[in-house]
């Protein structure tokens, strides 16, 4: 920083005139400074860091980022920033500053003692919560009002499925177009950010959801609705496809054969899991018959319709291995005992047992990585989501596993990091306010001890997290982790024990 000593007012005045900053972000600098002075808004300067800003531009060594309140106000060379006694300075020398991360497929933010701190301590400053219900709507609002420290929450509606469903409450089951429209109107009344669609929606109900969403300007996203061809769902407006369900079939030389088999199979109310199991097995077999020409047409269709893929490798990795493979994950200490018990109950419904099954699932998982890489190279948008709160998928921590998988899939460190920052924001319609380190955008940042472009695992090496302008240093983050661990390990039945209300579905 410059040796010039500036008081707070001078510093803010400098900010309003200092190059491509506030004005470029569409903020009237004078108004901004006046309001900041009046409100006594905290000024934070991260100085000396290499800024990896999430754009396609090069990393910028020895840079400073000035935060005023919850906004990024200025980004530029450290040497240009005047010294300001009243600003809080974060020493970024030798460190790397990246945008805050988004987990684009999360659950369970309402576990308020564990989920919000685990996300933030891992640099996850935003999540797309994939199932809305009363408790997590309350938590969303508490975070938004500043009553609870947590990531930004983009919240789904209730999951909307057909009259037969794998899921119990709080899923919304709709049998026809009329019920489907009513479900969308309920989602709007609950201030849902998008509608979540699910496997067993009847065709007419799906069409009604798409139409009602379009009329109200509400996005919808979710699982492959089996009664639709994936590209028809994409054409109708489905914004994302979760977990890679249906992707192997859609890109296979056996596509038509397998789709015909699924078309002929009813959803059995007495054994609702049967259809899912068949579809998953056909996906696995289809992955062995990848057809580049079929795939190219599918990817082109997704791209045309603006539908993204959300492969959720973190959860798919778990279900591709034997049920006890992750039983000793050290991060289990952050999971309430009663949830761990649920996990051990569900997981065997999905996991391979015989050596042959285990080998098959390994091949299938590798194929999913390849498919995501092919889709990415074809220009299809890829999201980074974990499906945390499903077995051995942990709030916050598992997004780092997802980053590893995205790199392995072929995105490379820069694109993987962009997937969970810039691209996530763009997908959510927040490109103007989030996702990159750019003046005018929200002050969600992560300061790392090592270079994420050299090795994506550096994103785990967190020195400081900034969430909506609030600075959480290493000591604070460690305390948050310790408190979350303590909360998770309170004995069930204790006065302050958690109640189990895990609404997560045991099915991604």
Closer CB to Zn ion, 245 or 275, in the complex: 245
User: Minimum CB separation from Zn ion for residue 48, in Å?
Assistant: 40
Q: Which residues pair with 196 in a beta bridge?
A: 159, 221
> Smallest distance from the beta carbon of 505 to Zn ion, in angstroms?
7
CA distances, 402 to each of 62, 66, 104, 325, 460 (Å): 29, 30, 11, 18, 12
Residue range at the interface with Zn ion (CB under 5 A); choices 123-131, 167-175, 187-195, 273-281: 123-131
Q: Residues in contact with Zn ion, total (CB under 5 A)?
A: 3
Q: What minimum distance in Å lies between the beta carbon of 452 and Zn ion?
A: 26
Q: How far is the CB of 107 from Zn ion (least distance, A)?
A: 6
CB of 170 to Zn ion, least distance (A): 14
* CB of residue 221 to Zn ion, shortest distance in Å: 11
Q: Which C-beta is closer to Zn ion: that of 33 or that of 130?
A: 130
CA angle (325 as vertex; 319, 331 as ends), nearest 5: 95
User: What token pair was written down for 239?
Assistant: 């914004």
Which is nearest to 388 in space by CA: 130, 16, 153? 130
Q: Which is nearer to Zn ion, 387 or 401 (CB)?
A: 387
Q: Which is nearer to Zn ion, 130 or 399 (CB)?
A: 130
**Residue 387 binds Zn ion, judged by CB under 5 A:** yes
Question: To the nearest whole angstrom, how small is the minimum distance from the Cβ of residue 359 to Zn ion?
Answer: 27
224: tokens are: 């492959």
Q: Which alpha helices (H) appear in 175-254, and where do they start and end?
A: 177-189, 203-216, 230-235, 247-250
Quick check: 407 binds Zn ion (CB under 5 A)? no
109 binds Zn ion (CB under 5 A): no
Alpha-carbon distance of 110 to 115, in angstroms, equals 7
Virtual torsion, Cα 182, 186, 187, 189, nearest 10 deg = 140
- How is residue 75 written in tokens? 């980004």
Q: Which of these ranges, 82-90, 122-130, 230-238, 274-282, lies near Zn ion under the rule CB under 5 A?
A: 122-130
Instruction: Determine if 399 is a binding residue for Zn ion (CB under 5 A).
Output: no
Give 47 or 389: the residue with its C-beta nearer to Zn ion.
389
CB of 79 to Zn ion, least distance (A): 47
User: For residues 201 and 508, which CB has a smaller minimum distance to Zn ion in the complex?
Assistant: 508
DSSP code string of 445-479: EEEESS-TTT-GGGGG-EEEEEETTEEE-HHHHHH
Three-class SS state of 356? helix
Of these, 118, 124, 130, 375, which contacts Zn ion (CB under 5 A)?
130
Distance set, CA 429 to CA 19, 218, 299, 455 (Å): 27, 11, 22, 29
Rounded to whole angstroms, the Cα distance separating 329 from 288 reads 31
As a whole number of Å, the CA-based R_g of the chain is 23
Q: Which of these ranges, 188-196, 210-218, 277-285, 385-393, lies near Zn ion under the rule CB under 5 A? A: 385-393
Q: Are 508 and 390 in contact (CB under 8 A)?
A: yes
d(CA 137, CA 189): 12
* CB 130, min distance to Zn ion, A: 4
Among the residue ranges 157-165, 382-390, 461-469, 478-486, the one whose residues contact Zn ion (CB under 5 A): 382-390
Footprint of Zn ion (CB under 5 A)? 130, 387, 508
């Amino acid at each position: 920083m410059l040796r010039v000593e500036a008081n707070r007012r001078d510093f803010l005045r400098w900010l309003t005139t200092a190059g491509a900053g506030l004005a470029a972000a569409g903020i009237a600098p004078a108004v901004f400074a006046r309001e900041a002075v009046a409100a006594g808004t905290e000024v934070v300067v991260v100085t000396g860091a290499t800024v990896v800003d999430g754009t396609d531009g090069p990393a910028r060594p020895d840079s400073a980022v000035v935060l005023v309140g919850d906004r990024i106000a200025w980004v530029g060379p450290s040497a240009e920033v005047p010294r300001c006694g009243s600003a809080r300075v974060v020493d970024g020398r030798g460190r790397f500053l990246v945008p805050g991360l988004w987990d684009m497929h999360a659950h369970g933010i309402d576990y308020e003692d564990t989920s919000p701190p685990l996300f933030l301590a891992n640099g996850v400053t935003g999540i797309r919560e994939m199932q809305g219900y009363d408790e997590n709507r309350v938590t969303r609002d508490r975070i938004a009002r500043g009553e609870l420290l947590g990531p930004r929450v983009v919240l789904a509606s209730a999951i909307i499925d057909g009259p037969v469903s794998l899921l119990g409450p709080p899923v919304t089951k709709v049998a026809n177009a009329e019920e489907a429209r009513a479900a969308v109107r309920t989602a709007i009344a609950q201030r849902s950010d998008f509608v979540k669609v699910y496997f067993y929606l009847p065709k007419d109900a799906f069409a009604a959801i798409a139409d009602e969403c379009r009329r109200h300007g509400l996005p919808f996203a979710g699982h492959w609705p089996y009664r639709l061809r994936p590209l028809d769902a994409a054409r109708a407006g489905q914004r994302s496809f979760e977990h890679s369900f249906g992707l192997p079939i859609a890109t296979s030389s056996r596509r038509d054969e397998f789709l015909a088999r699924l078309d002929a199979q009813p959803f059995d109310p007495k054994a609702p899991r049967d259809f899912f199991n068949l579809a998953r097995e056909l996906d696995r077999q289809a992955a062995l018959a990848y057809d580049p020409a079929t795939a190219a047409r599918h990817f082109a269709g997704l791209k045309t319709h603006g539908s993204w893929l959300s492969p959720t490798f973190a959860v798919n990795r778990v279900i591709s291995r034997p049920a006890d493979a992750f039983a000793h994950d050290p991060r289990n200490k952050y999971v309430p005992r009663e949830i761990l018990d649920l996990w051990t109950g569900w997981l065997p419904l999905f996991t391979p047992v015989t050596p042959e099954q285990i080998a098959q699932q390994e091949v299938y998982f590798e194929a999913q990585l390849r498919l995501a890489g092919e889709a990415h190279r074809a220009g299809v948008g890829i999201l980074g989501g974990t499906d945390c709160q499903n077995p051995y998928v942990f709030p916050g921590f598992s997004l780092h596993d997802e980053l590893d998988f995205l790199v392995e899939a072929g995105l490379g460190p820069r694109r993987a990091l962009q997937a969970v920052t810039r691209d996530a924001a763009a997908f959510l319609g927040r490109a103007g306010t989030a996702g990159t380190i750019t003046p005018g955008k929200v002050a969600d940042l992560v300061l790392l001890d090592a270079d994420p472009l050299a090795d994506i695992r550096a994103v785990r090496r967190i020195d400081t997290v900034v969430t909506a302008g609030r600075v959480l240093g290493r000591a604070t983050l460690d305390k948050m982790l310790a408190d979350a661990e303590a909360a998770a390990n309170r004995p069930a039945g204790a006065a302050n024990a958690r109640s189990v209300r895990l609404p997560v579905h045991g099915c991604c």
